[in-house]
Structure 1
Amino acid sequence: MADVKNTLVKFQSIIALLVLCIVLTIMSDKFFTMENGWNIARQISINVCISVGMTLVILTKGIDLSVGSILAFSGAVAAGLLKFGLEVPAFNTYIGFTVFGAILSGLIIGGTLGVFNGWMITRFKVPPFVATLAMLTIARGATMLWTGGFPITGLGDSFDFIGTGWFLGIPMPVWITAVVVAVAVIVTKKTQFGRHIYAIGGNESAARLSGININKVKIWVYAIAGILAAVGGIILTSRLDSAQPNAGMSYELDSIAAVVIGGTSLSGGRGSIMGTVQGALIIGVLNSGLVLLNVSPFWQQIIKGLVILVAVIMDRLNHPNED
């Protein structure tokens, strides 16, 4: 019985996903189609990118509430630099940006904000919840200032290809997400940095005594979370051909939901990248199914919240001795 229980716990996300797909296939003849499958894959690509970074953060027993705002600001910066360039009146200089330069700038912005989060948490011992909540507000305000409260549109076919193009019969966002997931799996499973992340989340005091530079690892983790939020922002901006000032609203909640549903413990030290991908798939399939069934958006929020709550309760029941 114990072996059966352990097997069910190990594969509970996959089982839940299969059951959900079967139920929705029965209830809607539009669900189990190739077109809907690709739609789900494109829709979850942004959440997967963000959630991979969130997984690393939560594995260290932290949290990042700022990823949605960092996504918005990074996407807006990339779009603004690509569309308008950068003027430096003091030197009477104008700097134009290629697609690559604009994307790189957006990634640098995301990484910089992530480093700032990590620095506040490690240097000044600000609780992650508070530090990233402050960054949520800062980055959202910066987005409004950068855009003037108006969308930045007309970004060109080359930039739009990132979010809307296809390569070898697969959407570009799916390719980008696959690369992010593959690199993250290798980092967490095969590198010393990955082992340090798990060690810090499992027992920070023991990790410090074993010689791990706790502060350095945490700063890197939040920097990666910021960069991956920027990746999501660039995909979203290119997909819409528009940088919206209010982009990424509540994306941090979907990200945390994917991580928790995928089996990563909020207590840190336990979880996996592939589990998070499964969690994001469950959310994507659930969202798609509810839309196809014409469920009210208000009920969709309630159902999603209940799913998150059930996932956390199951995690606590399966691991009752964790703090």
Structure 2
Amino acid sequence: MNAVMQRLRGWSVRDAGILVVFMALVFALWLVSPGHHFLSVNNVLLILVQTTINGILAMGMMYVIISGEIDLSVGSTIALAGVVAAMLAHPGEYPVVVPILAALTVGALVGLLNGVGVAYGAIPSFIVTLGTMTAVRGLALIVSGGAPVFNVSATFEAVASAKIGRFPVMAIYLVVIFAICAFVLSRTVYGRRVYAVGGNPVAAEVSGVDVKRSKVSVFVIAGLLAGFCGVLLASRTISGSPTAGDSYELDAIAAVVIGGVSMSGGRGRASGVLIGALMIAVIANGLDILGIDANFQRLVKGAIIVAAVLLDVKARRRS
């Protein structure tokens, strides 16, 4: 019990630290932005929209990394799911639910393939998902003929562009998915099993946890959410592009790591991951407002990832 309480206190301090850094970053960008435009209502809503896809993708990546694995294929899954959704979303052909379900199915199948390869094939997740990253991207190019798929219905376009008053519906998707993922991870037996598998798979197996099934399930969750992100991206850009989602897996990993999830598995919280995703969007948005080269954003993001991993390694050594 004491060990559990110490762990919870450690998480609280870590989350508080991430939140303090995030708030300081927001305040600094507000000060230096022309006319203090950074915290205007329109820009805050834009940041929420910019956070949505990476935030949802990071929720799935969070499950995978907490379980002690990695998924490099989610960016390619977004592309394939978006292409499939756009192909089924032409005006007058199918109800909008059909392309959405098709994209979710594509994502879940890619995740299932990854999970089976890792859990039952005993292949390192880095290798499995590196292979599927390439193969799925190739499949997206084959299915689409190497060109974006256009001519989607207005109903499909509204999936991402609709608003409730001034509030974008994309931000609502993020809030709902975050709430579900956070609840499942922190309040259910399944969530405790994911932590156990990532913390010590041998001990989890001895305790009666089906480690292989748990490994498969986290990859399916990541694939399912990547499929949904494919729908949102295709709806937002009004096309399904086979080159979409390039390097999105890196942004998702960055959000997870910045959010305090340990790359060694077994530790992390959804709230931290959400703050990590917001931080990435805030940095990109703030640097754009300041007119700083986009290439510099990659440098900043990379430095933050390295710093976050270094802090995690030091924290694990102290514990």
User: How would you bin the TM-score normalised by the shorter chain?
Assistant: over 0.9
Output the amino acid matched with 1:152: V
Which of 40, 61, 64 is the matching residue for 1:57?
64
Which of 240, 243, 262 is the matching residue for 2:240?
243
| TM-score normalized with structure 2 length | 0.93
Q: Counterparts of 1:25-40 in structure 2 under 5 Å?
A: 25-28=30-33, 29-40=36-47
1:307 aligns with 2:304: yes
Output the amino acid matched with 1:65: L
Residue in 1 that maps onto 2:109 = 112
Which of 161, 182, 195 is the matching residue for 1:164?
161
Alignment partners' CA distance in 2, 1:229 and 1:20:
28
Q: Deviations over 1:242-264 (max 9, x none)?
A: 11121000000000000000000
Shift of 1:10: 3.7
Provide structure 1 residue ranges, at least 5 long, that are not aligned to the other structure.
Answer: 86-95
Residue in 2 that maps onto 1:23 = 28
Alignment partners' CA distance in 2, 1:110 and 1:289:
32
- RMSD between aligned alpha carbons? 1.7
Give me the identity figure in percent. Answer: 36
Runs of 4+ in 1 over 4 A off after TM superposition: 5-8
The 1:206/1:248 distance shift into structure 2, 3 A limit, reads same
Alpha carbons 1:9, 1:318 under 8 Å: kept: no
Q: Deviations over 1:75-117 (max 9, x none)?
A: 11011122299xxxxxxxxxx4321011101100100110000
Q: What SS does the corresponding residue of 1:48 show, helix, strand or coil? A: helix
1:277 aligns with 2:274: yes
Alpha carbons 1:161, 1:172 under 8 Å: kept: no
Which of 192, 195, 219 is the matching residue for 1:222?
219
Alignment partners' CA distance in 2, 1:188 and 1:123:
24
Q: What SS does the corresponding residue of 1:125 show, helix, strand or coil? A: coil
Q: Deviations over 1:123-155 (max 9, x none)?
A: 110100000000100110011011111111121
Which of 173, 181, 184 is the matching residue for 2:170?
173
Output the amino acid matched with 1:272: R
Residue in 2 that maps onto 1:45 = 52
Residue in 2 that maps onto 1:89 = none
Alignment partners' CA distance in 1, 2:69 and 2:13:
27
Alpha carbons 2:82, 2:230 under 8 Å: kept: yes
Q: What SS does the corresponding residue of 2:37 show, helix, strand or coil? A: coil
Residue in 1 that maps onto 2:257 = 260
Instruction: Give the number of aligned pairs.
Output: 309
Alpha carbons 2:91, 2:153 under 8 Å: kept: no
Residue in 2 that maps onto 1:100 = 97
| TM-score normalized with structure 1 length | 0.92
Shift of 1:318: 2.2
Residue in 2 that maps onto 1:78 = 85
Shift of 1:294: 0.8
Alignment partners' CA distance in 1, 2:15 and 2:242:
40
Shift of 1:168: 4.6
Alignment partners' CA distance in 2, 1:106 and 1:212:
31
Residue in 1 that maps onto 2:3 = none
Alignment partners' CA distance in 2, 1:8 and 1:274:
13
Output the amino acid matched with 1:17: F
Which of 131, 142, 145 is the matching residue for 1:148?
145
Which of 119, 124, 134 is the matching residue for 1:122?
119
Shift of 1:169: 3.6
Q: Deviations over 1:282-313 (max 9, x none)?
A: 10100101111111111111111111111111
Shift of 1:68: 0.3
Residue in 2 that maps onto 1:212 = 209
